[in-house]
Structure 1
Amino acid sequence: MTALTLKVHNRIAEIGESAWNALRDDDNPFTSFAYLEALEITGCVNQASGWQPVHLSLSDDTGVIQGVMPLYVKYHSMGEYVFDQSWAQAYEQAGGSYYPKLQAAIPFTPVTGARLLSPDPQVRQALAQAAISLCDSNKLSSLHITFPREDEWQLMGEMGLLQRRDQQFWWDNAGYKSFDDFLAALSSNRRKVIRRERRDVQSIVDLKWIVGAEITEAHLDQLYGFIENTYDRKWGTGRPYLTRAFFSRIRETMRDQMALVFAYEGSEAVAGAINFIGGDTLYGRQWGALVDVPFLHFEVCYYQAIDFAIARGLKRVEAGTQGEHKLSRGYLPNPVYSAHYIRDKRLRAPVEAYLVREREAVAEQMLFLVEEASPFKKGG
């Protein structure tokens, strides 16, 4: 491989939209230049928020960028969805400084996607090695590459990074023609429960999809109000990770990939969620509500997403992280990955031992959930 020149960028704009997007090989909306730039220019990520961009690029001797990596200096462990707070606490109790650290991720977005953007396997490896070297040269505690693709995760394991595996619950479209067609694949009990939940919700609210060019700033005002209210009720704060300006920005640059679903009591919108369409997948993201209606969250975030995916011929719904409650609603466990470089061997050794046990436990749990707890008919 020819010599490559490494650059560290404090703004993704320094790399440029055409150069960044030329290195993507899928339609994942969250690895796009537009999404990542929107996070930066609307104040979601910066040093004050604890996400300082330090994106990497590798260029050949003609100056053409051959690989890029979304990378951040992190001053806390919030907004990552791969939890390492116990590692931080243990290290600091032993006299170390866990923060700042390096994080290769899409901020606030637990969606699997490329983290080493290049068509060349050697460049991908060089990007990972460059991030490790950046960690070492700046005496940072660690590097965390979260929600990479499985092939990237395997590469990082071969390079000696510690490997972590978890699970998310996704819905897969087995060629269903309608929601009832999907229900027919479930056990009798699960069909009855889901029908009852949907009937109860739909007797109180009306549901409506607002997609692409139909989305207005007024819709985004309403959506943000839902999200703020839910943050306040759940965590005691009305300040979501994503700013209101972020939603306006992506409406300008990514509107064709946006899909809102709102719930109405009469003419008043009382709940809603934002989804993104990428290739053959619908990605469920933020949601919120102004009212407490039993099963409303399941209807807005899970059942409506299935309806939408079937109608659009999409193959999958990814409805976010965590939540075994998704299983009984037709969302099955799928593996998600992260890789970790820990500079201090005193912390690395116990974390490595823990991750071996954790991977085994996750694999066993996924197998049990698929074979014993699946809502689908046996043998179906």
Structure 2
Amino acid sequence: MEISLVEAVGAIPARDWDACAGGDNPFTTHRFLTALERSGSVGEGTGWLPRPMVLREGGEVLGVVPLYLKLHSQGEYIFDHAWADAFERAGGSYYPKLQVAVPFTPATGPRLLLRPGQDARGRQALLQGLQAVAEQNGLSSVHITFCTAEEAASAPAPWLSRIGEQFHWENRNYAAYDDFLAALSSRKRKALRKERQAAQGFGGRILHLTGKALRPEHWDAFWTFYQDIGARKWGRPYLTRAFFDEIHATMAEDILLVLAERDGRYVAGALNFIGRDTLYGRYWGAVEDHPFLHFELCYHQAIDFAIAKGLSRVEAGAQGEHKLARGYLPVPVWSLHHLPEAGFRQAVSDYLQREREAVSEDIEALQDLGPFRRDQAI
């Protein structure tokens, strides 16, 4: 078995990459990751330098890893700024570091991508390869973010696991949105009905656009929304305008764009990606302020779509205890970290143990505060 790094996902044939990635998760596909590269959303000048790892045996590609050389800790959503500060105050150089991730995308999915039948052997080879690259090049760390629970559980020492929290909606075989409402307590049910009525009374119509229904003017409108929310939340948007043209060309069937139109003008929108059994909410923005329209486009419309298409869940992205009242319950998310320097690794390990306990307690407490009737709560 041989491991190598290349300079772009685009340097690897799509058939080889996707044979390892599978078709369940849209973000680990060749078409999504190369859209980031071709659009200039990652690469020189962004602090995200693609260095994908390839595992071969007898010339055949058995596994791939979306690996980046990172020059900062932006756009990751499982943040290590405090670790970087501590390492550099102790005299080290934290950057560059290695990041196994889908850039700017806090969605759980496999990160060690392997052809069927290669899981155990291939996973260990890739983990060992990541360790070797970091240690041979004197890098401070390797981070595998939003990996699966199975990947986190199977990683041997010296890898450290970290737990975080997101809010996901689960489809319990609902035939319609009213079936979901029926599972809620009376007070919560009335509150959501009132909220949706107010939001849908904004004076326009709500559109679901996917596939051939998507047109360039929709992306022009959404780009305005994305820039607005990006500037207010993060200082600058991560994605370029060209990225949206790329996914329009290669991923239209994987996209649900929910737009609010009023008086012939698009005033708000939410971008989702469609997986095999999951709808992934990614970005939202607006140029007009209407009560509850954010919740309607991002959360309620996503539930409507998931029920209609028979999807198992909606993952609405990072943060947000406000999602709890709308039926999105807390779940753990995982990451793995390799820190070659022994003293630093021990300090972070001690911290992660305390953090895991605190996050687990928080998830348990929030589960009890969910909107579901007691006979429906999980």
For structure 2, list consecutive stretches of 5 or more residues without a partner in the other structure.
Answer: none
- 1:290 is aligned to 287
- 2:132 is aligned to 133
Paired residues of 1:327 and 1:374 also in contact (CA < 8 A): yes
- 1:244 is aligned to 241
Paired residues of 2:176 and 2:304 also in contact (CA < 8 A): yes
- 1:214 is aligned to 213
Question: Comparing 113-122 with 103-112, which one deviates more in the overlay?
Answer: 113-122
Paired residues of 1:209 and 1:259 also in contact (CA < 8 A): yes
Counterpart amino acid of 2:163?
A: R
- 1:311 is aligned to 308
Aligned CA RMSD, in angstroms, stands at 1.1
| Structure 1 SS opposite 2:269 | strand
- 2:64 is aligned to 68
- 2:112 is aligned to 116
The match for 2:3 among 3, 6, 9 is: 6
| Structure 2 SS opposite 1:320 | coil
Counterpart amino acid of 1:148?
A: C
| Pairing of 1:199-278 with structure 2 (within 5 A) | 199-204=197-202, 205-235=204-234, 237=235, 239-278=236-275
CA–CA distance in structure 1, aligned partners of residues 276 and 355 of structure 2: 32
Deviation at 1:360, TM superposition (A): 0.9
- 1:376 is aligned to 372
The match for 1:18 among 2, 8, 15 is: 15
Counterpart amino acid of 1:340?
A: H
The alpha-carbon distance between structure 1 residues 25 and 233, as it changes in their structure 2 partners (threshold 3 A), is closer
TM-score by length of 2: 0.96
- 1:340 is aligned to 337
CA–CA distance in structure 2, aligned partners of residues 347 and 57 of structure 1: 29
| Structure 2 SS opposite 1:308 | helix
1:288-318 CA-to-partner distances (Å, cap 9, x unmatched) read: 1001222111111000100111111111101
1:67-97 CA-to-partner distances (Å, cap 9, x unmatched) read: 1111000000000000100111111111111
- 1:195 is aligned to 193
Deviation at 1:24, TM superposition (A): 2.2
Counterpart amino acid of 1:180?
A: D
Deviation at 1:47, TM superposition (A): 3.0
- 2:165 is aligned to 167
- 2:143 is aligned to 144
Deviation at 1:26, TM superposition (A): 4.0
For structure 1, list consecutive stretches of 5 or more residues without a partner in the other structure.
Answer: none
| Structure 2 SS opposite 1:136 | helix
CA–CA distance in structure 2, aligned partners of residues 141 and 355 of structure 1: 18
Paired residues of 1:230 and 1:290 also in contact (CA < 8 A): no
Structure 1 position 322 matched with structure 2 position 319: yes
Paired residues of 2:177 and 2:307 also in contact (CA < 8 A): yes
| Structure 1 SS opposite 2:251 | helix
Deviation at 1:346, TM superposition (A): 2.4
| Structure 1 SS opposite 2:337 | strand
Paired residues of 2:23 and 2:29 also in contact (CA < 8 A): no
Structure 1 position 281 matched with structure 2 position 278: yes
- The share of aligned pairs that are identical, in percent, is 50
The match for 1:299 among 291, 296, 299 is: 296
TM-score by length of 1: 0.96
Counterpart amino acid of 1:65?
A: V
- 1:364 is aligned to 361
| Structure 2 SS opposite 1:43 | coil
CA–CA distance in structure 1, aligned partners of residues 23 and 123 of structure 2: 16
Structure 1 position 57 matched with structure 2 position 54: yes
Counterpart amino acid of 2:223?
A: Y
